[in-house]
Structure 1
Amino acid sequence: MTSRTDALRLPLVPAGAFVLVWSSGYISGPAAVHAAAPFSVLGWRFVVAAVLAAGLALALRRPTRMDRAVLGRVALVGLVMNALMFGMMYVAFDLGLGATLASLFHALSPVLTAILAAVLLGERISALQVGGFVVGVLGVLLVLGADLGHAGGPIAVGIGCLSMLTLSLGTLGQRWIGAQPDLLWSAAVQFAVSAPPMLVLGWTTEGAWPVTDTGRAVAAVLFLAIVNSIIGLVLLSLLVLRGGSGAAASLFFLSPPVTAVPAWLVLDETLSVAQLVGLAVAVVGVGAATRTRRTPEAPAAAPPPPA
């Protein structure tokens, strides 16, 4: 049982740093696709992140034990969690989906995961979890409003929703791995298998050099790889070790309001009063549901990587 007490046991500095790192991904992602095409950005992000994760694992002498079956499952889950989930979200960014709304979609993911686990795996789910998800969705609808143009249009919103669904399915897939391989080596494998499809998609659909601002593109890729992929992964692993995956997931509801501030300052995103009310409603719903979710501490190859 993950409760408010569980969440309060999380170390304050790593928890606060994780929320900031996670939220920053929704700022650096749109900034990156403004400087280069989305698939190419992600492909090079995963290349750099794979090299860094493998280098860190070697430097720390982490065990490499993974049999062929576990390796295959880690790789497949990595494709879902990285290539599919991020691929769709970055396309949505490219179509105009806002940073705050994207963060809100992904904040709903832990609650959606619990609901999918109940439907697909027969796990127990509380009425408060279902109610929290419903309230969260109502908040999202308030943020969206009647006109989807400000959110990039119905296609961008639909792709953002699919990214949320893929994140939840990938989180469930972590349990399917059925072992507990080293976190850094697992991340290195998952980044490595996700890079080629993104680079191939980028080359075939975006061109050989789809960059409009080289300096900004390089800075964004390095920030995404170092801060969001590696530092975020390390912070999340510390929180999981200290409080469990459920307690760490209880922090995700903080991401949308934290994202909204730099989105306004950096990306010039503004929210109306009605949208701010919707954001507050969604955060309350997700916060209530994630702080009471029952989650079996199943082994996982790696936690969901920050955006």
Structure 2
Amino acid sequence: MTPHLPHRLWLAAMPLLFVALWSTGFIGAKFGLPYAEPFTFLFIRFVLTLALLVPLAHWLSGEWPRGARLWGHIAVSGLLVHGAYLGGVFYGIYLGMPAGLASLLVGLQPLLTAGLAGPLLGERLATRQWLGLALGLIGVALVLGGKLDPGEALFQGFGLGALGAVLVALLGISGGTLYQKRYCTGMPLLSGTVVQYLAAAAALGLGALLVESREVEWSTTFALTLGWLVLVLSISAILLLMALIRRGEASRVASLFYLVPPVTALQAWWLFDEALPPISLAGMAIAIAGVVLVVRTPATAGRPRT
């Protein structure tokens, strides 16, 4: 019995570890963006990730998507899930949005996905999901209201450009989730991620070429941040997710994603002194409660209409 205890503890900790790792992505953006523009930063990150992920996909899986059509669908999902999502988050933080607020806004993805699943996938929303959607909107309004600035910036430290960039990220991750669910059901997880990163790297590389100077101030902080994002976020988190899915824990991970915004906000407060006023903290709690209501639904809710 005793030899199995560490194994059981590890299995119990895996979902929480995944969420803890995922929340550091927003902090990594805050650390690295002073040294490189967002598209350039992400392009370098994706190239380094691919250099490690391609051999891993070959050694650990060896299975690649079958057919040009599936490759195309996976590439589109990658443009949305990685290109639009990460590009929007990094650009919003680059324009001054606090990391904790960016995490909260894109953390509303289950709300938007649930709202779009009806017309796009024929799924019904339960009453508690509608309540969750309403709470999410109220919470976001309170958070943004707490950051209002009577000056020209509109919000404290950032303007509409940053808000628009993060909203693009929210639309990208929500649309990409629905697109992947509908068109990429035969996608091998690891090699499919390689295809997604290839598409996102191409798009962000083009963006860096067209609108950025592509200058990088190489420093110890930037190198360590880049190493963390590549090795811990883009590689380790993906492998951990694979292990969770194999053990049937994917739904448990989804139910814990609502912890990402408060964990990120706590990290941002500790590392960067990013403080939210009381009304924004209350709004964050309300918004997270809305996400919980949407995610934690009865098994009979949300089934497609027949």
In 1, are the aligned partners of 2:141 and 2:283 still within 8 Å (CA)? yes
In 1, are the aligned partners of 2:84 and 2:168 still within 8 Å (CA)? no
1:237 aligns with 2:239: no
Could you tell me how far 1:186 is from its partner in structure 2?
0.5
Could you tell me how far 1:261 is from its partner in structure 2?
1.2
Residues 208 and 296 (structure 1 numbering): CA distance in 2 closer, same or farther, change over 3 Å? same
- Report the AA paired with residue 268 of structure 1: D
TM-score (norm 1): 0.86
Written as runs of structure 1 = structure 2, the 5 A alignment for 1:33-44 is 33-44=33-44
5+ residue gaps, structure 2: 1-9
- Report the AA paired with residue 280 of structure 1: A
Could you tell me how far 1:234 is from its partner in structure 2?
2.0
Residue 259 (structure 1) aligns with: 264
Task: Name the CA distance, whole Å, in 2 between partners of 1:157 and 1:88.
Answer: 9
Could you tell me how far 1:254 is from its partner in structure 2?
0.6
Q: Which residue among 148, 152, 160 is the counterpart of 1:154? A: 160
Task: Name the CA distance, whole Å, in 2 between partners of 1:99 and 1:232.
Answer: 20
Residue 144 (structure 1) aligns with: 144
Residue 183 (structure 2) aligns with: 177
Residues 213 and 270 (structure 1 numbering): CA distance in 2 closer, same or farther, change over 3 Å? farther
Residue 127 (structure 2) aligns with: 127
- CA offsets per residue over residues 66-121 of structure 1, 9 Å max, x none? 21111111111111111122112111111111111111112210221121011222
- CA offsets per residue over residues 118-151 of structure 1, 9 Å max, x none? 1222211112112112111211211111334225
Residues 189 and 178 (structure 1 numbering): CA distance in 2 closer, same or farther, change over 3 Å? closer
Alpha-carbon RMSD: 2.1
Task: Name the CA distance, whole Å, in 1 between partners of 2:111 and 2:250.
Answer: 13
- Report the AA paired with residue 260 of structure 2: S
Greater than 6 Å deviation, 4+ residue runs? none
- Report the AA paired with residue 207 of structure 1: S
Residue 255 (structure 2) aligns with: 250
Q: Which residue among 207, 210, 233 is the counterpart of 1:204? A: 210
Residues 121 and 151 (structure 1 numbering): CA distance in 2 closer, same or farther, change over 3 Å? farther
Residue 270 (structure 1) aligns with: 275
Task: Name the CA distance, whole Å, in 2 between partners of 1:240 and 1:114.
Answer: 21
Residues 170 and 196 (structure 1 numbering): CA distance in 2 closer, same or farther, change over 3 Å? same
Residue 109 (structure 2) aligns with: 109
In 2, are the aligned partners of 1:103 and 1:259 still within 8 Å (CA)? yes
Residue 31 (structure 2) aligns with: 31
Task: Name the CA distance, whole Å, in 2 between partners of 1:179 and 1:134.
Answer: 31
Could you tell me how far 1:273 is from its partner in structure 2?
1.6
- Report the AA paired with residue 203 of structure 2: P
Residues 130 and 244 (structure 1 numbering): CA distance in 2 closer, same or farther, change over 3 Å? farther
TM-score (norm 2): 0.87
Residue 90 (structure 1) aligns with: 90
Task: Name the CA distance, whole Å, in 2 between partners of 1:119 and 1:230.
Answer: 34
Residue 215 (structure 1) aligns with: 220
Residues 132 and 179 (structure 1 numbering): CA distance in 2 closer, same or farther, change over 3 Å? closer
In 1, are the aligned partners of 2:15 and 2:252 still within 8 Å (CA)? no
Give the secondary-structure state (helix, strand or coil) at the position aligned to 2:155: helix
Q: Which residue among 155, 167, 173 is the counterpart of 1:167? A: 173
5+ residue gaps, structure 1: 1-9, 298-307
Could you tell me how far 1:242 is from its partner in structure 2?
3.3
In 2, are the aligned partners of 1:109 and 1:164 still within 8 Å (CA)? yes
Task: Name the CA distance, whole Å, in 2 between partners of 1:90 and 1:65.
Answer: 29
Task: Name the CA distance, whole Å, in 2 between partners of 1:104 and 1:279.
Answer: 7
Which one has the largest radius of gyration?
Answer: 2
Q: Which residue among 276, 284, 297 is the counterpart of 1:279? A: 284
In 1, are the aligned partners of 2:138 and 2:283 still within 8 Å (CA)? yes
Residue 7 (structure 2) aligns with: none
Could you tell me how far 1:193 is from its partner in structure 2?
1.9
In 1, are the aligned partners of 2:97 and 2:163 still within 8 Å (CA)? yes
Residue 193 (structure 1) aligns with: 199
- Report the AA paired with residue 56 of structure 1: L
Task: Name the CA distance, whole Å, in 1 between partners of 2:78 and 2:303.
Answer: 21
Task: Name the CA distance, whole Å, in 2 between partners of 1:86 and 1:47.
Answer: 15
Task: Name the CA distance, whole Å, in 2 between partners of 1:126 and 1:260.
Answer: 30
